[in-house]
Chains A and B, each alone.
Chain A
Amino acid sequence: MKRQIPLAIVITLGFLFVIHTFVPHKISQDFYDWFQTWIKAISPFAVFLGVMSLFNVHRTKISRRVPNWQYSVITLIGLFFTAFAGFMWGTQEGTPYMWLFTNVQMPMSATMFSLLAFYIASAAYKAFRARSAEATVLLVAAIIVMLGQVSLGAAITKWIPETSRWILNVPNLAAKRAIMIGVGLGMTATSLKILLGIERTYLG
């Protein structure tokens, strides 16, 4: 029973939503909207699970004094202080919560994001080696596209930006679309497996 009931819910609702995509009728739309409100109502409860998990993991770390447990203390302080600031003074512009958001959260996120530039450089350095014929094609294409992006490319010859555009629009797009078709089919297959109860790992 522990498995049958959830499975029955999944299958019924799954088929209802499949029908919904083919039926534009008001009844079908209203059902969908009504369901959306349920999702909105349920998801906040999951936040508690998340917070509890975070709290438990770090509490255990602190109580066992595992190496680097001090970081956990900082995490928990961050968690509670931000929540406290939000509850205490609200989340409008000008409150401590917003201050934390704009002056701590945003720059830190931006920092992580900008690391991408460095990582791309080192990944490119490692990856683009003319090990084989295919790898050489990749290498040449990469260099042309990169040159096409900056004025140096156009300065060398006007064909570099042109070729760069061609590479992006023709071979690149073709491959991308092929992958997309595969992904679409894979998604459909997985969804169908779930609908038919073939795939149940997600039930735990």
Chain B
Amino acid sequence: MEFNHLKTGKLLFLMVFTLLITLSFAAEEDYSNYIVENLQVNDIPNDDGGGLVLSWKPLPKERRIIEYRIYRGVSPDTLFFHGKVDVNVKTGVSGDELFYYDSGYNMFVNLQSPGKLKKEEQQSPESPLFLSYPRDITVSGPRLKNYRILGVIPEKDFYYRNTKVEIEEDDETEVYAGYKLRHFKYLLKKLIADKEYFYTVLAVTESRKFMPHAKIVSGIPRDDSPEAAKEFFPVFVKDKKILKFEWTRAIFTTDHSNHNLYLIHKDDLETFNDFVQEQINLEELSITAKEDSLLEIPEAKYTNPAKLIFTRYSGYPYTANNTVSIPIKDNLIADEENEIEVEIDPTEMTDYRFVFSFADWNGFETFSEVKKAKEIYSADLPKLPAEWKVTDRADDKGDYNTISWGKPSVLLTNTSYLNEEKTKLLVNYDVYTNKNYKTIKNVYFQVYDMHGNMIDEINEFYQDKKIKIKLPHEMNEITFKMWIKANGYSGKDQLFTQKLIYDENSKSMQPGKLYLDNEEVNRFSYSIYKRNYSNEEWRLSKSTMGSQRELFDNIAYELDHFKSVSKFDLEKKLFLVSPTFSIRMDDKLENSIVANLYPSEQKKSIENYQKEIEKYEAQKDTASAEEIAKFDRYIEHYQNQLKIAQENPILKTAAEINGKKARLKYLEKARKIGSRSFEYKIVKSDGKGIFTESEVYQAEKIGNLPFTKKTRNSFAGLGKNHFYPLPNWFQSNKFATLIATLIFGYLVFTMIQKAKKGKDLYIRPIAGISEIDNAIGRATEMGRPILYVPGLSGIGDVATLAGLSLLGRVAKKAAEYDTRILVPVRDYIVLPIAQEIVKEAHYEAGRPDTYDNNSVFFITTSQFAFVAGVNGIMIREKTATNFYMGMFWAEALLMTETGSMTGAIQISGTDAVTQIPFFITTCDYTLIGEELYAASAYLAKEPLQLGTLKAVDYLKFIIIIFVIGGTILSTFHATFLINSFPEK
């Protein structure tokens, strides 16, 4: 049948226009059905007063809604786009209600925000809806006060890109650091407690039609008491007279200020319960009172009968420690710092109850369940590994410390039967080790039956994580005894035992619990806690199960400064933040050492402290006793600050530095050391209050630290118990690679020298390459073009480069024979390079006139559309010879099969292992893998090229020797060769 192209063209024209018309004349509808109903705003309970939850009834599936857009503002007449909820058009929303949580910090403004204040699309002129907050400071600046705003400023910008701004406030000049919007990564916002916010929601249909918005509603976020701890475990170690407590952590901790523990005598329980109930009632009343000013809050009747025995700052935003040990000395629990002194009789422990609470910044406190202490003896406590170490992790950019403990462990993980009789068993195991025992030499397994007879014995010299054992008959239970031999460690002192027990449900042997010296290994887990110079409290690094032996603690490089933003400078278009920043805490971890971006302000702060002290001293004369105590605390605080400002070595050194930038550089570095040096401790716990805590790790000697002595002196313990992760200059596991590279380089060099001297280097002939000339000749004879596809990959792929260098040679030949060459390209970066190569080839052949820039052309980046294009060319242009050189994927066969249909001679070359079979079956000649890379050298016949080719052969020979040698050696239990190569 004759194809009428014109007809086809017309038909397609028609289709496109129909599509256009359908799109533009979408049927008009009544939109009232598309308004979201039942929109409600409620406070999120147990939070810090920064969260509201929106809920609404989703529109039925038939409305084909694609997203719901949420708008928010502080008055109902201006609402800004806040966020959206995507909906799957086909499935719709399954529930009756859709929720949206407006909590935590979310985007206020950044560089991608709209430039100017803009109305939302497709809304009526009087609509109160706007796009998100604009960059325009005249709009966003005055709205800073509506939220808690947090500016995220990249480190470098924070220190060096600020403008000093002075503002007169109550006859005092306040100094701020001003930043342009572009210096912020973003400004984030969070709701303010007790402030009213207005919301609305609109639906967007499948065709992106914005529907009218829902009725505007409002809500007020309230600060309320935190959640109670879900579980709480008090434990009393009788012989040591130590109380131990462990509790489960809360999920939302933004608002937490303290973790508290109380002691209650059993006689006071009733009063305590009344007190708790009253507190709950009072809290409810106080929130209601905020809405109803007439409501009076009654005085509290009860005082808390429980006695505080422990309190600790909860250390937000880090994961706080959830264990504590409290010793009882002379029938007393005492803590001077927190002014705690509680009497307790350890012989009458059953008389006491304990309760744990999370307290928040607003003074709310939520108590856990009241519990009696579980009595145990110190022998029941888990034992910490005798040795543990903190070291810098090797081969990283300086963002990890390694914490390693104990000796290697082995654990059976899974089994499967290998035969119907259930006498052959495949057992999987895992070995956990650490850097101190890096090379595991052997893992020994002894298998015993229920009567204690040994059935099988295995020595795993190469650990492939599976062993096969033979049982004399089907068994319900077998016991494994296992130990590990590692470098410098015989393993005899650590005998692991584990049972395999037949499980009826899964019809297989299941691993039982792992024991090491009668201790159930995985009953306990290790938690690593860390603390730097900038925080008082320990924070959790990671937890891991009891069989593990090593953890890497991530100490990320600080990229940003987080600063609260509340002011702005309209004239200079700046957002203002406080110019102070904390360097670290003082040695007692009590007061923060605060520096200022501006040296003059740093000096001024000393005067300010002195003034404050004088002011309070003066006020003391006329004040009441209660006030005097308060003033004394203030005075003490300022005196501390004053002392730090005057005497702290870091600040003193900084003050002596003249250059503004140099001073900040020094401070920046000091801050970095303070926040990135950590001390560590391990807690081994069963999660239920039975735990042992290690001392803080102390290194035996201080390693090399890249800091001056002066700097080191300002950080006591740096290198001793505080560990700063160091960046490494060489990746040690790439040592083998480096050696191989050097050998290769040497081989290339000598081979090139040889070739240059005219030595004849034998190279195995490759059929595909020698046929290239004939194939081009064939096209010339037939007077048809050549097709050359340089792969579908980008320029970063070496195969593409190989394909391109071959293109140069083929194009030159083709130009010499005056045969047209067509080069379709998929990657647009490859395009100009391919064009240049073909052009150059024509020049070299002395035929610049025959070069047509349109013969090297881009089709599309879409994989299969590209194939369609290439196939079309083959069929229409009737190409005589097709080359495919480079990287190919699933499309390979589609092209070559079409080529073979059109009767073209086809030569292909690729390193894509999965596509090679397709090429071999459909092409006349195929360059397999490395032959593609060699092809260009073959054709060039230059000594430089041939030398490299020969060097590859020699290197390959070396590799083969290693492969064979390694195989033989490891067959004879010698695994040193295998182990000397890195795994990855």
Structural contact, B865 and A70, CB atoms closer than 8 A: no
Structural contact, B398 and A25, CB atoms closer than 8 A: yes
B832 neighbours in A (Cβ, 8 Å) = 46, 49
Structural contact, B829 and A181, CB atoms closer than 8 A: no
Q: A49-B828, A181-B959, A202-B801 are in contact. Are A186 and B727 (CB under 8 A)?
A: no
Asked whether B272 is an interface residue with its Cβ less than 8 Å from the other chain, the reply is: no
Structural contact, B204 and A94, CB atoms closer than 8 A: yes
Question: A interface, how many residues as a size bin?
Answer: 35 or more
Return the chain A residue nearest B830 by Cβ.
A46
Structural contact, A204 and B865, CB atoms closer than 8 A: no
- The contact string, 1 if C-beta is below 8 Å from chain B, for chain A 105-128, is 100110111011001101110110
Structural contact, A123 and B918, CB atoms closer than 8 A: yes
Structural contact, B857 and A57, CB atoms closer than 8 A: yes
Q: A25-B397, A46-B832, A187-B911 are in contact. Are A201 and B808 (CB under 8 A)?
A: yes
- The answer, among B13, B89, B805, for a CB contact under 8 Å with A199, is B805
B478 neighbours in A (Cβ, 8 Å) = none
Asked whether A26 is an interface residue with its Cβ less than 8 Å from the other chain, the reply is: yes
Q: A112-B865, A126-B921 are in contact. Are A202 and B837 (CB under 8 A)?
A: yes
Asked whether A96 is an interface residue with its Cβ less than 8 Å from the other chain, the reply is: yes
In Å, the complex CA distance between A182 and B956 comes to 8
- The contact string, 1 if C-beta is below 8 Å from chain A, for chain B 885-900, is 0000011011001000
- The contact string, 1 if C-beta is below 8 Å from chain A, for chain B 1-29, is 00001101100110010000001000000
A24 neighbours in B (Cβ, 8 Å) = 395-397, 727-728, 730-731
Asked whether B929 is an interface residue with its Cβ less than 8 Å from the other chain, the reply is: yes
Structural contact, B854 and A119, CB atoms closer than 8 A: no
In Å, the complex CA distance between A199 and B396 comes to 34
Asked whether B955 is an interface residue with its Cβ less than 8 Å from the other chain, the reply is: yes
Structural contact, B9 and A123, CB atoms closer than 8 A: no
Asked whether A89 is an interface residue with its Cβ less than 8 Å from the other chain, the reply is: yes
In Å, the complex CA distance between A101 and B930 comes to 38
Asked whether B139 is an interface residue with its Cβ less than 8 Å from the other chain, the reply is: no
Structural contact, A199 and B936, CB atoms closer than 8 A: yes
Give B593 Cβ to nearest chain A Cβ, in Å: 26
Q: A50-B831, A54-B857, A183-B929 are in contact. Are A22 and B730 (CB under 8 A)?
A: yes
A50 neighbours in B (Cβ, 8 Å) = 828, 831, 858, 861
B13 neighbours in A (Cβ, 8 Å) = 74, 77
A116 neighbours in B (Cβ, 8 Å) = 890, 893-894
- The contact string, 1 if C-beta is below 8 Å from chain A, for chain B 112-130, is 0000000000000000000
Structural contact, B863 and A186, CB atoms closer than 8 A: no
In Å, the complex CA distance between A54 and B866 comes to 12
A90 neighbours in B (Cβ, 8 Å) = 208
- The contact string, 1 if C-beta is below 8 Å from chain B, for chain A 52-80, is 01101100100000011011011001000
A28 neighbours in B (Cβ, 8 Å) = 397
Asked whether B414 is an interface residue with its Cβ less than 8 Å from the other chain, the reply is: no
B766 neighbours in A (Cβ, 8 Å) = none
Asked whether B833 is an interface residue with its Cβ less than 8 Å from the other chain, the reply is: yes
In Å, the complex CA distance between A111 and B891 comes to 12
B730 neighbours in A (Cβ, 8 Å) = 22-24
In Å, the complex CA distance between A94 and B836 comes to 41
B89 neighbours in A (Cβ, 8 Å) = 94
- The contact string, 1 if C-beta is below 8 Å from chain A, for chain B 782-806, is 0000000000000000110110110
B497 neighbours in A (Cβ, 8 Å) = none
Asked whether B744 is an interface residue with its Cβ less than 8 Å from the other chain, the reply is: yes
In Å, the complex CA distance between A92 and B67 comes to 11
Q: A26-B398, A49-B858, A74-B12 are in contact. Are A182 and B930 (CB under 8 A)?
A: yes
Structural contact, B948 and A193, CB atoms closer than 8 A: yes
Asked whether B951 is an interface residue with its Cβ less than 8 Å from the other chain, the reply is: yes
Structural contact, B933 and A186, CB atoms closer than 8 A: yes
Main secondary structure of the interface of B (DSSP, over half): helix
Give A108 Cβ to nearest chain B Cβ, in Å: 7
Structural contact, B836 and A204, CB atoms closer than 8 A: yes
Return the chain A residue nearest B804 by Cβ.
A202
Which of B23, B206, B805, B837 has the most chain A CB atoms closer than 10 A to its own CB? B805
Asked whether A11 is an interface residue with its Cβ less than 8 Å from the other chain, the reply is: no
Q: A57-B857, A201-B804, A202-B833 are in contact. Are A188 and B744 (CB under 8 A)?
A: yes
In Å, the complex CA distance between A134 and B63 comes to 64
- The answer, among A26, A126, A186, for a CB contact under 8 Å with B932, is A186
Asked whether A192 is an interface residue with its Cβ less than 8 Å from the other chain, the reply is: yes
B840 neighbours in A (Cβ, 8 Å) = 204
In Å, the complex CA distance between A108 and B868 comes to 10
Structural contact, A25 and B727, CB atoms closer than 8 A: yes
Asked whether B427 is an interface residue with its Cβ less than 8 Å from the other chain, the reply is: no
A53 neighbours in B (Cβ, 8 Å) = 825, 828, 831, 835, 854, 856-858
Structural contact, B955 and A202, CB atoms closer than 8 A: no
In Å, the complex CA distance between A193 and B647 comes to 61
A198 neighbours in B (Cβ, 8 Å) = 944-945, 948
B399 neighbours in A (Cβ, 8 Å) = 26
Give A22 Cβ to nearest chain B Cβ, in Å: 5
Structural contact, B831 and A49, CB atoms closer than 8 A: yes
Return the chain A residue nearest B740 by Cβ.
A188
Asked whether A149 is an interface residue with its Cβ less than 8 Å from the other chain, the reply is: no
Q: A70-B8, A122-B897 are in contact. Are A186 and B929 (CB under 8 A)?
A: yes
Give A24 Cβ to nearest chain B Cβ, in Å: 5
- The contact string, 1 if C-beta is below 8 Å from chain A, for chain B 844-882, is 000000000110111111111101100010001000000
- The answer, among A25, A27, A109, A204, for a CB contact under 8 Å with B837, is A204
Give B697 Cβ to nearest chain A Cβ, in Å: 25
Asked whether A95 is an interface residue with its Cβ less than 8 Å from the other chain, the reply is: yes
Asked whether B738 is an interface residue with its Cβ less than 8 Å from the other chain, the reply is: yes
Structural contact, B16 and A56, CB atoms closer than 8 A: no
Asked whether B809 is an interface residue with its Cβ less than 8 Å from the other chain, the reply is: yes
B922 neighbours in A (Cβ, 8 Å) = 123, 126-127
In Å, the complex CA distance between A3 and B207 comes to 53
Return the chain A residue nearest B24 by Cβ.
A96
B731 neighbours in A (Cβ, 8 Å) = 21-24
B951 neighbours in A (Cβ, 8 Å) = 189
Structural contact, A189 and B23, CB atoms closer than 8 A: no
Asked whether B540 is an interface residue with its Cβ less than 8 Å from the other chain, the reply is: no
B959 neighbours in A (Cβ, 8 Å) = 181, 185
In Å, the complex CA distance between A112 and B731 comes to 45
Return the chain B residue nearest A185 by Cβ.
B952
Q: A22-B738, A81-B16, A186-B932 are in contact. Are A74 and B911 (CB under 8 A)?
A: no
Asked whether B969 is an interface residue with its Cβ less than 8 Å from the other chain, the reply is: no
Asked whether A180 is an interface residue with its Cβ less than 8 Å from the other chain, the reply is: yes
Asked whether A190 is an interface residue with its Cβ less than 8 Å from the other chain, the reply is: yes
Give A174 Cβ to nearest chain B Cβ, in Å: 11
Return the chain B residue nearest A203 by Cβ.
B836
A194 neighbours in B (Cβ, 8 Å) = 801
Give B469 Cβ to nearest chain A Cβ, in Å: 22
In Å, the complex CA distance between A27 and B745 comes to 26
B952 neighbours in A (Cβ, 8 Å) = 185-186, 188-189
Return the chain A residue nearest B209 by Cβ.
A94
In Å, the complex CA distance between A21 and B734 comes to 9
Q: List which B726-770 residues lie within 8 A (CB) of chain A.
A: 727-731, 734, 737-738, 741, 744-745, 748
Q: List 10 A-B contacts (CB under 8 A).
A: A26-B398, A50-B858, A94-B208, A105-B862, A112-B865, A127-B922, A189-B951, A201-B805, A201-B809, A201-B837
| Closest 6 A/B residue pairs (Cβ) | A204-B836, A50-B828, A186-B933, A186-B930, A112-B864, A127-B921
Interface residues in chain A, defined as those with a beta carbon under 8 Å from any beta carbon in chain B: 18, 21-29, 43, 46-47, 49-51, 53-54, 56-57, 60, 67-68, 70-71, 73-74, 77, 81, 89-90, 92-96, 99, 105, 108-109, 111-113, 115-116, 119-120, 122-124, 126-127, 176, 179-183, 185-194, 196, 198-199, 201-204
